[in-house]
Structure 1
Amino acid sequence: MTKGPVRLDVAVGYAVPRKGIPAAASFRKWVAAALTGRIRQADLAIRIVGAKEGRALNRHYRGKDYATNVLSFPAELPEGLPDGVRLPLLGDLVICAPVVAREAREQGKPPNAHYAHLTVHGALHLLGWNHEDSREAECMEQLEREILARLGIADPYLDA
């Protein structure tokens, strides 16, 4: 664990109309909550996409032919980076707005709470957290619960 607030550079891009989607400041707050105490400095990008782009990315990178809620792309930094590239690059998150809206409706959750959960979840993936087996999943889910509770957001895994 590191001490003090994380220095963040979070770029948020919207490839879909903004209606019903949180502001960039909210995404930055959620990323900060996930990363504070775990890393000192981070640069990352979040792109909010539609179903077509979400599906294409999921198919290309994961071999799954459907749009998913969040994709995490950890940065792989080559040696000899060009001038002007700032470190540490943490990676990118892609959040599919129609999937998030549908899941929030189906699960009876406020959309902002679901966006917060998926942002925290994706940021933890960028740090190397995974849920490939039940032990990893349990640890990651507990960490997500703690981070979201500090933000005043209910346990996302209740009745999930």
Structure 2
Amino acid sequence: MTSKVAPPISVAIQWAVHADHPPFSEVDNSRIRRWAKACFMDRAEITIRLVGEEEGRQLNRDFRGKDYATNVLTFPMDMPDLGADSGLPVYLADIVICPAVVEREAAEQQKDPIDHLAHLVVHGCLHAQGYVHESDSQAELMENREIEILKRFKISNPYISSSKK
């Protein structure tokens, strides 16, 4: 019997903003990496950058034409598939998350802020793999995948309203 070897997945974390206060002071890079790695079944190399509202707003304005800081932005790079022997990642992306927006949304939606952060890491990683939510059927596919991944971390369905933990 052969054992399945996990594909190489590299997750770099950049903190452009200090999260030295609760709730995100409890989240270390290894935890973010575990959330991200759970999303990929093929080789991947991603960077997750946690930014302040000013940088988040600038990126959202420059790349989406929307003048506000958003919770998560994903910048996937199209890579030619040169085959498994090439050693190149199948997925290569930068994911930008704004903790201030995540914290505000969690409070508004009565969600645990760390669970909400995990959800947005997963959401960004799925976008890096081509998942979108432009139509109802696409959204359902993406949401079901998010729910499945988050369940591994004992995080409840983010699409069901719940009270703060």
TM-score (norm 2): 0.84
TM-score by length of 1: 0.87
- Give the counterpart of 1:102 among 101, 104, 110: 104
Q: What secondary structure sits across from 1:12 in the alignment?
A: strand
Q: Does 1:49 align with 2:54?
A: no
Identify the match of residue 76 of structure 1 among 75, 78, 81.
78
- Asked if the contact 2:79–2:92 (Cα under 8 Å) also holds between the matched residues in 1, the reply is no
Question: Which one-letter code corresponds to 1:7 in the other structure?
Answer: P
Amino acid at match of 2:35: W
Superposed CA RMSD: 1.8
Deviation at 1:76, TM superposition (A): 3.1
5 Å matches for 1:51-66? 51-66=53-68
Separation (CA, whole Å) in 2 of partners of 1:153 and 1:6 = 24
Question: Whole-Å Cα distance in 1 between the matches of residues 119 and 154 of structure 2?
Answer: 12
1:9 equivalent in structure 2: 10
Q: Give 1:18's aligned residue.
A: 19
Which residue number in structure 2 is paired with residue 120 of structure 1?
Answer: 122
Is 1:144 the counterpart of 2:149? The answer is: no
1:4 Cα deviation from its structure 2 partner: 4.0
User: Structure 1 residue 5: deviation in Å?
Assistant: 2.3
What is the SS of the residue equivalent to 1:11?
A: strand
Q: Give 2:77's aligned amino acid.
A: A
CA contact (8 A) 1:75 1:90 kept: yes
Q: CA offsets per residue over residues 68-110 of structure 1, 9 Å max, x none?
A: 00000001348xxxxxxx7315111000111001011111111
Cα contact 1:6–1:32 (8 A) shared by 2: no
Aligned residues, how many?
A: 149
Structure-1 separation of matches of 2:67 and 2:35? 28
The correspondence of residues 126-137 of structure 1 with structure 2, limited to 5 A, is 126-137=128-139
Identity among equivalent positions (%) equals 49
Aligned structure 1 segments of 4 or more residues deviating by more than 6 angstroms = none
**Is this contact kept in 1: 2:11–2:37, CA < 8 A?**
no
Give 3-state SS (helix, strand or coil) of 2:59's partner.
Answer: helix
In 2, are the aligned partners of 1:148 and 1:154 still within 8 Å (CA)? yes
CA–CA distance in structure 2, aligned partners of residues 18 and 87 of structure 1: 33
For residues 79 and 146 of structure 2, the distance between their equivalents in structure 1, rounded to whole angstroms, comes to: 27
Q: CA deviation at 1:52?
A: 0.4
